[in-house]
Amino acid sequence: MNFIVKTIQRTVNPAISGISLMIIVSSILSTNFAIANGIAQYENLANIRNTAKIFLEEMTNSADTSDVELNIGRLDPRLKLKKCEQPLLAFLPQGSKSYGKINIGVSCNGPVPWKIFISASKYHFQTVVIASNSLAKGKLISLQDLSYKRVQVNNFRKQPAIDNSQVVMTSARRFIRAGSIIYMNNICMICKGHKVSVSAGSKYFSINLEAEALADASVGETVRLRNFKSRRIFDGTVVGRNKAQVLLAN
């Protein structure tokens, strides 16, 4: 304290008495202490945002192959919440969705409990196949008809094609506009009315026949077929472009 008083006395006005300077210095130190003490009484807003950020990151599935973009909203700098004596807890309000625009709750369960909600967003992006040209219904799709685009996939209710190999040599089930995402249910490897080469057999024998497709189907799906000769209707599994397989019991 004496050092501070002498320093101020030399800097400000040597004529000021030591007692007066002691009062001035005490006033300054008391004010600074009050300010510091006041700040320490309130929770750091950055700490609140960081708690919400960590919670949002932990919500993200590490096995998810899509890109994820996270954003935490800012808090009003005038906000004053009592400093929590316990670790802050983050939570997702009941009934809230876990993607898109969301609110994350941060609470304090200390002697002076409080709760606050922070706006945030969590968006998933994925590279998908789109039509580079408009595709007419029934059009046999080639590599030149396709391109890629990174899009938001949070609200997808249908499965988009994510690789050209899923689409090339398929036919459009309906008109697809240029720039549109190609969904798996918009294409067919076997289309209704197409002539299908069928391989039927078991471990001991196999036969090949031709049939008419009675419905649209993609690779791996079951398709209803009608034998051209016998007119018998049966099911087969799509294995390629206008190709199906039927496994017979041994």
Residues 195-250 pLDDT 10s: 999 998 887 888 899 999 999 888 888 999 999 999 999 999 999 889 999 988 76
Helix (H) or strand (E) holding 56: helix 45-59
How high is the pLDDT of residue 62? 56
Domain ranges for the chain: 2-40, 195-247
Q: Are 213 and 173 in contact (CB under 8 A)?
A: no
Model pLDDT, residue 113: 94
Count the neighbouring beta carbons within 10 Å of the beta carbon of residue 156: 14
Instruction: Give the pLDDT score at 11.
Output: 52
Task: Read off the pLDDT of residues 42-59 as tens digits, 9 standing for 90 and up.
Answer: 999 999 999 999 998 888
The model's pTM: 0.60
- Domain range 195-247, CATH class: mainly beta
Spatial distance between the Cα atoms of 42 and 80, rounded to a whole number of angstroms:
6
Residue 22 has pLDDT above 80, yes or no: no
pLDDT, tens digit, for every residue of 81-128?
999 999 999 999 998 888 889 999 999 998 999 999 999 999 889 899
CA distances from 47 to 50, 73, 83, 110, 152 (A): 5, 13, 10, 16, 30
Q: What are 78's two structure tokens? A: 């005038």
Q: Quick check: 68 pLDDT over 60?
A: yes
